[in-house]
Chains A and B, each alone.
Chain A
Amino acid sequence: MSKTTYREALRGAMRDAMRADPRVFLMGEDVGRYGGAFAVSLGLLAEFGPERIRDTPLSESTFVGAGIGAALGGMRPIVEVMTINFSLLALDQIVNNAATIRHMSGGQFSVPMVVRMASGGGRGMAAQHSHSFEGWYAHVPGIKSIAPATVADARGLLLAALEEPDPVFVFEHALLYPLEGETDDGVPMRIGQAAIRRSGHDVTLITYGGTLGKTLQAAQTLAEENIDAEVIDLRTLRPLDTTTILESVGRTHRAVIIDEGWRTGSLAAEVSAEIMEGAFDSLDAPVARVCSAEVPIPYAKHLEDAALPQAATIVDVARALF
């Protein structure tokens, strides 16, 4: 166990992976000399040089596609896309190529590529830097999606992603980078497992990524009102760990899903449907959701706060189930 930050945990995982495996390299916008837009790769250029810490032009589609090609050619690329909004420029390569090549080739080729990007709002970055499209990515078979919400997961899940034979997309909520915590270097993590971050027996609060903190805060408030909430951190968005979700709802009989994506067609909607299909008879109340308002993320703080899920809203929605 060592105390560090989310940002440093990501950096440490990349450093260790690159030391251990010459096939691993990092490329993306400003990952080298600048040190990464969120300083995740700061210092790696000095250790590994410009071949393995590779600055790219602003060509998201082509450097993600080059990651696919490099993976096909035997490398283990980590591609950093500065923000999830920018990743939309690479959707062609992600959805049409990365997700399909294994299938289209009849299993002849795999694409062991990790794509990292910052997501989420809360920083006054307005409507082109603040969104949460994780649910879109989780929609696509052929790729896996993870959203580390803790410092330990930042390290452990990124290392697990680098062990995967298929493309893994890593969504790092931008507010988490300075988060302090401890890494657990002992046990290798696996993709596809949710975690119960707080045990409880009255209601299950299901979330991932940047809203885990707010959800735990809400659980604390609910506890003061004698509502004992269980908090599930999904960690992996595809494949979803429905077993953990359904077992928890089977115990608590109530569920609230907290998702920074827009409500319509959200990942929260998918989780809700899984609960309806798999635990309908256990439910004592309708499944509820706390999502972002159906609006491009606004700039002004009071408007942005109103647009995003907040602990107080989670408390209100959970309380209303009783």
Chain B
Amino acid sequence: MATELLALPELRRDHALKLLRQMLLIRRFEEKAAEVYTQGKIRGFLHLYIGEEAVAVGAMPAFTAEDAIVATYREHGQALARGIPASAVMAEMYGKANGTSRGRGGSMHIFDASRRFYGGYAIVGGGLPIAVGLALADRMQNRAHITACFFGEGAVAEGEFHESMNLAALWHLPIVFLCENNRYAMGTALMRSESQTDLHLKAQSYNIASQAVDGMDVLAVESAVREAADGVRRDGEPRFLELRTYRFRAHSMADPDLYRTKAEVEEWKHRCPVENFAAMLRGEGLLSDAQRREMEADVGAEIAQAVAVAEAGPWERVEDLTRDVYTPAGAS
């Protein structure tokens, strides 16, 4: 694990525990989401982030509150790591009026203007051009902000991926492209859909500096994303990281998971980003069993509170159905 980042003992412990807590929060949030989905509380699609927690949690500290975040339909992890309250995300998935989009978006479309969290895109690759535009807007307005653009490896098959790589490089736009390579686009394995499976090489063909990173190791992710983000802030040029990860659950709650072996999934679970990091911290004396229990209880309470807020949340009035199709006059 890349531990050199954390030189000072106290900072090192506090920061490491924070990373662990965030990963644990996402893990338990997703487990609860799956549970309430089966109870019919959440409808539509539900794409769980379990197994990929190190990517969102490792990446997010590299971005300031002024930076822009663009994500995908598997974005609960990014939303929580960005600091969007679990209660607001859960309420949105319940379809309640106290959700992030007042029940209009659901699991796949989490937005939060106050945190520059720009969604939540469910057409694969569709968020990349938006990231290009956000970065362009920041640069044209002489703001020093950068844009983090998350997308899955399935997006590299889309034309919008290639167009966006080209424009970002051609226009020297301050974007960190974060490719979450979980090896399967729904049920299609990467090797069955791409002639070049070293995805970071695709970015290099557009003259974008890139590298592949162990996406199961939160410190490796943090180190690489910080370096990439620092690079973007320094020279204004885009960077590309391929974060190699794995989802432990099926693509969505509707997926029978027939396209990969149980043995393969079990093998990856040995690389669990949450448990392995916890074990490492325990080994280094940074996490006692009591602290772990306390953290679990704390996270459990936060999620219980999120569910309670979602359960108690009001429904949007049907009379307001067509609200938010257009911007009301004088309220842009």
Residues of chain A touching chain B, judged by Cβ–Cβ distance below 8 Å, are: 23, 25, 51, 56-57, 59, 61-75, 77, 92-93, 96-97, 101-110, 112, 141-142, 144, 165-166
Contacts and interface: CB of A to CB of B under 8 A. Distances in A.
Contact of A72 (B99, B102, B118, B121): B118
Q: Of residues B103, B120, B121, which shows the largest number of chain A Cβ atoms within 10 Å of its Cβ? A: B121
Interface in B79-107: 99-105
B163 A62 contact: yes
Contacts of B1: none
B141 A63 contact: no
A68 B109 contact: no
A101 B70 CA distance: 13
Contacts of A70: 133-134, 136-137, 140
B156 to A, nearest CB: 14
B104 A62 contact: no
B136 A73 contact: yes
A62 to B, nearest CB: 4
B325 to A, nearest CB: 5
Contact of B102 (A75, A106, A165): A106
A271 to B, nearest CB: 21
B250 interface: no
Q: Of residues A59, A92, A144, which shows the largest number of chain B Cβ atoms within 10 Å of its Cβ? A: A59
A105 B193 CA distance: 32
Interface of B: 68, 99-105, 109, 111-113, 118-121, 123, 126, 128-138, 140-141, 159-160, 163-164, 166-167, 170, 323-327, 331-332
19 contacts: A59-B166, A62-B128, A62-B160, A65-B126, A65-B132, A66-B132, A67-B133, A68-B129, A69-B137, A72-B130, A74-B137, A93-B129, A96-B123, A101-B111, A102-B324, A106-B105, A106-B111, A142-B326, A165-B327
A74 B159 CA distance: 26
B101 A97 contact: no
A65 B160 contact: yes
B136 A69 contact: yes
Contacts of A72: 118, 130, 133-134, 137
B131 A69 contact: yes
A35 to B, nearest CB: 21
Contacts of A71: 133, 137
Given A25-B140, A75-B140, A92-B123, A107 B323 contact: yes
A2 to B, nearest CB: 30
A11 B109 CA distance: 38
A35 B141 CA distance: 25
Given A57-B170, A106-B104, 6 more contacts: A69-B132, A69-B133, A70-B136, A72-B133, A106-B103, A141-B325
A166 B327 contact: yes
A169 to B, nearest CB: 14
A109 B118 contact: yes
A93 to B, nearest CB: 6
B105 A105 contact: yes
Contacts of A68: 129-130, 133
Contacts of A101: 111, 119
Nearest to A25: B140
B188 to A, nearest CB: 20
A64 B163 CA distance: 11
Contacts of B164: 62, 65
Contacts of A61: 129, 159-160, 163
B147 to A, nearest CB: 8
A255 to B, nearest CB: 28
Contacts of A109: 111, 113, 118
Nearest to B130: A69
B44 to A, nearest CB: 13
B129 A62 contact: yes
Contacts of A57: 163, 166-167, 170
Given A25-B140, A62-B164, A71-B133, A104 B109 contact: yes
Contacts of B160: 61-62, 65, 92
B136 to A, nearest CB: 5
Contacts of B138: 73
A68 B137 CA distance: 10
Contact of A62 (B105, B119, B167): B167
A72 B332 CA distance: 11
A109 B332 CA distance: 8
Contacts of B326: 102, 142, 144, 165-166
Contacts of A74: 137, 141
A106 B100 contact: yes
Given A72-B118, A110-B327, A97 B170 contact: no
Contacts of B109: 104-105
A294 B323 CA distance: 37
A96 B138 CA distance: 23
